[in-house]
Amino acid sequence: MPSIRKCSVPVKVPVIHEDPLKQTPATVQSGSCAGGLPSVSRRVVPKSGIVAQGAILTSSRWMATVGVLALTAMAVSVICLHFGAQPIAYGEILRVLVDAVSRKEIDGGTSDVATTILLHVRLPRMLLGFLVGCSLATVGVALQALLRNPLADPYVLGVSSGAALGAAVGVLLGAGTTFLAEAALPAYGFAGGLLALVVVYRMAASYEQLPIHSLLLTGVILNAIFSALIMFITSILEPNRSYGMMAWLMGTLTAPTYGGLAGLAVYLSIGLFLLFSQMRVLNILALGEDSARTLGIDTEKAKRFIFVLTALVTGAVVSVSGMIGFIGMVVPHAVRLVTGADHRLLLPASALAGGTFLMGADTIARTLISPAEIPVGIITALSGGPFFVYLLLWRKDRLA
Amino acid sequence: MSELSDGRSKQESLAGSAGVIESHPAYDVQAVRFRYQSKGSDAIRWILEDVSFCVQAGKVLGVVGPNGSGKTSLLKVLARLLRPVQGRIDLFGQELVAMAQQEVACIIGVVPQDSQQLFPFTVAETVLMGRFPHRSRGRWTSGFGWESREDVAIAEEAMMTVDIIHLAHRAVTDLSGGERQRVMIARALAQTPRVLLLDEPTAFLDLQHQVEICSVLVRLKEESRLTVVLVSHDLNLVSQYCDRILLLDRGRVVRLGRPEDVIEPEVLESVYRCRVLVDRHPGTGLPRVTLPGRSLSGGM
């Protein structure tokens, strides 16, 4: 490295007017951008460039990381299908899955117990868990970059409680006694989440720009108000329905119908795709607002767009699975340690890891005291809460 | 003029023929007033009042003044981070506030005062983000995609210019203040700007790197007609490296001119309200400011 340092201190060399033809291969013909840095091209580029050093994200590292995570997700999903009140042998799982795929239909009318359990209970629930985990982790990453706060997650802004309140109002208005299989609930959730965001935005945008700290504080206050309203609604419901509401609020995954699952998948993938389209923008936003603007981003517009997407995704997720917390914070944190901060990798990697994490957590939730179940939100909170405290106590330096 | 009114075509024509004499100054600032917007009270003082000046392309302007004189606000107004309440700023003949954010980012590079980083981007990744304004445009595709080979080469050069290539793989969160400052300068250089705005660029740098950064600025100015506006508390540094100096006090321009016209003891004493000694730099003959010794400061 000393040789690089030496040649990278050109200013000490009094010879400024070198022959421009003697330029090294690293000469930059920056035709598209004004001026360029022609002066700099005199210097010798070290053999170990930043790509060779592994200092930047390359497509091969991207492929490798995403590939490994995808394979892990598949492996975990098979393990999750195995466990349950009654374990199903791995060979049996494979047979049923291959069978279902080859018949190209799920309702084959078989009376096979393993097939029924796998295809109608465990598989849809697992897929739901994966979708929810994916979405929460992705939203968490987006909000962390947007708020420049590694502790942000959908709950901090009050988006989740807003969505929950929306869904609770939906239930109160008689959107059915079951919380799932209700197409209207995600819409209520989105409306609630968006309401939360609009209020947050209005309150914080009393200045021309949106200061981050007032945004966080507004979120905290909104959370308190929404929680109170949700508790109020819970208290005036009939006892059996309020029990269901409580269980849902704690965060539970229930096996959905394939129709409902497909609808949710389409809805979420649109939202997630649009969020993924902002990966580089998130990189720049994570640098800070002024930096982002000097790098050419209309920050207000970009933030608004990403906030609305977060509300869409969170609304849908909360309305089907309640308040499953901490995934949006823990997973991105853990993933960032491995992948680095570049959102082009962090976002897809967190999505895969979040999905895998929730599949696993839900398997634990339904097997730990089987045949009874505990809400998966409790599992995620018990694993995420201590992590949160750890970050607060020992990693203060990294928090804003 | 019609060609010049289009930023991109102008840029291309410039890149094609280096050394073209521009018909417009880099900055033409006319009677700019600025204050922070706040509802309720009207009696907020102006942060900038009737500031007018001109920066020719390829020149270095140093902005100095006491704390709270509006230096950083002025820089932010020039960077289009703040909008002037009154007045007009032209950037190479185009009205600054009418330009698109991305268009501005292709022309102006900004080095902020100190930006504490929260996310462990590597140094190389951070510098590469300077290439973001030059990405291919597109509503839905701008979030995807990789930097081109050219982008990487430009980033590497920028990193070598400020001597941080050996830090390439380090996380920006683990750097010292001076190292981080050089990363920010490299990021701005990677934007291949025609104008560079720097806020206290040498505040955290040791002597070697102070000299180095300043020499780099001077060299870029000479070789690629880079226009530089830098805010600094270091009067000596400004005196040595700037073509012109703008002295601000409470939002108003006190003096604007060559170092020898601005760095005068009477002017500085009235603005900074303390005694200073001004003599000549033994090497360059430019004014040099020294704080009074113990015996002299007693009277103040």
Task: Give the tens place of pLDDT for each residue, B4-27.
Answer: 344 434 343 333 333 444 578 899
H helices of B67-162, in order, are 71-78, 101-107, 123-128, 149-161
- Banded model confidence at residue A212, pLDDT cuts 50, 70, 90: low
- Banded model confidence at residue A55, pLDDT cuts 50, 70, 90: confident
- Whether B151 and chain A come into contact, CB under 8 Å, resolves to no
- CA-based nearest residue in chain B for residue A280: B143
Residue B193 has pLDDT above 50, yes or no: yes
pLDDT for B290: 86
Using a CB-CB cut-off of 8 Å, the residues of chain A touching B144 are: 276-277, 279-280, 344
- Mean pLDDT is lowest, of A15-29, A386-400, B84-98, for A15-29
Closest CA to A51 of A38, A60, A42, A64: A60
Residue A3 has pLDDT above 50, yes or no: no
Tokens of B99: 């330009």
Using a CB-CB cut-off of 8 Å, the residues of chain B touching A30 are: 15, 150, 154, 192
Does this model's pTM top 0.90? My answer is no
Using a CB-CB cut-off of 8 Å, the residues of chain B touching A51 are: 152
> Smallest CA–CA separation between A236 and chain B, in Å?
42
> Smallest CA–CA separation between B34 and chain A, in Å?
14
Average pLDDT over residues A160-178: 78
- The better pLDDT of the pair A378, A157 is held by A378
Residue B276 has pLDDT above 80, yes or no: yes
Spatial neighbors of A222 by CB under 8 A, at least 6 apart, are A157, A158, A161, A162, A196, A199, A200
Contact assignment for A37 to B126 by CB distance below 8 Å = no
pLDDT for A9: 35
Distance of CA B159 to the CA centre of its chain: 18
Tokens of B96: 């600054």
Contact assignment for B125 to A340 by CB distance below 8 Å = yes
Report the length, in residues, of chain A. Answer: 400
- Whether B128 and chain A come into contact, CB under 8 Å, resolves to yes
The string of DSSP letters for B56-89 reads -TT-EEEEE-STTSSHHHHHHHHTTSS--SEEEE
- Banded model confidence at residue B136, pLDDT cuts 50, 70, 90: low
Parse chain B into domains and list their residue ranges. 22-38+45-136+145-297
Write down all domains in chain A, each with its CATH number in brackets.
Answer: 2-42 (no CATH), 123-398 (1.10.3470.10)
- Whether B79 and chain A come into contact, CB under 8 Å, resolves to yes
Average pLDDT over residues B225-251: 92
Contact assignment for A296 to B133 by CB distance below 8 Å = yes
Give the whole-angstrom CA distance, residue A204 versus residue B105: 27
Residue B219 has pLDDT above 60, yes or no: yes
Contact assignment for A341 to B125 by CB distance below 8 Å = yes
Spatial neighbors of B122 by CB under 8 A, at least 6 apart, are A55, A56, A340, B168, B169, B170, B171, B172
> Smallest CA–CA separation between A267 and chain B, in Å?
18
The answer, yes or no, to whether ipTM is higher than 0.85 is no
CB count within 10 Å of CB A231 equals 14
- The better pLDDT of the pair A267, A34 is held by A267
Task: Give the tens place of pLDDT for each residue, A276-308.
Answer: 988 989 999 888 888 999 998 888 888 888 888
Residue A14 has pLDDT above 60, yes or no: no
The string of DSSP letters for B251-280 reads TEEEEEE-HHHH--HHHHHHHHSS--EEEE
- Mean pLDDT is lowest, of A22-31, B46-55, B257-266, B278-287, for A22-31
Give the whole-angstrom CA distance, residue A341 versus residue B122: 8
Contact assignment for A296 to B156 by CB distance below 8 Å = no
Residue B278 phi/psi, 5-degree rounding, is: -120, 125
- Interface test mutation site (partner A, options B119, B210, B227, max chain A beta carbons within 10 A): B119
Task: Give the tens place of pLDDT for each residue, A216-260.
Answer: 677 788 889 999 999 898 888 888 778 878 878 888 888 788 888
- Mean pLDDT is lowest, of A141-150, A173-182, B42-51, for A173-182
- Whether A16 and chain B come into contact, CB under 8 Å, resolves to yes
> Smallest CA–CA separation between A291 and chain B, in Å?
8
> Smallest CA–CA separation between A351 and chain B, in Å?
16
CATH H-level superfamily of B22-38+45-136+145-297: P-loop containing nucleotide triphosphate hydrolases (3.40.50.300)
Task: Give the tens place of pLDDT for each residue, A304-349.
Answer: 888 889 888 998 898 888 888 888 888 998 898 888 899 999 999 9
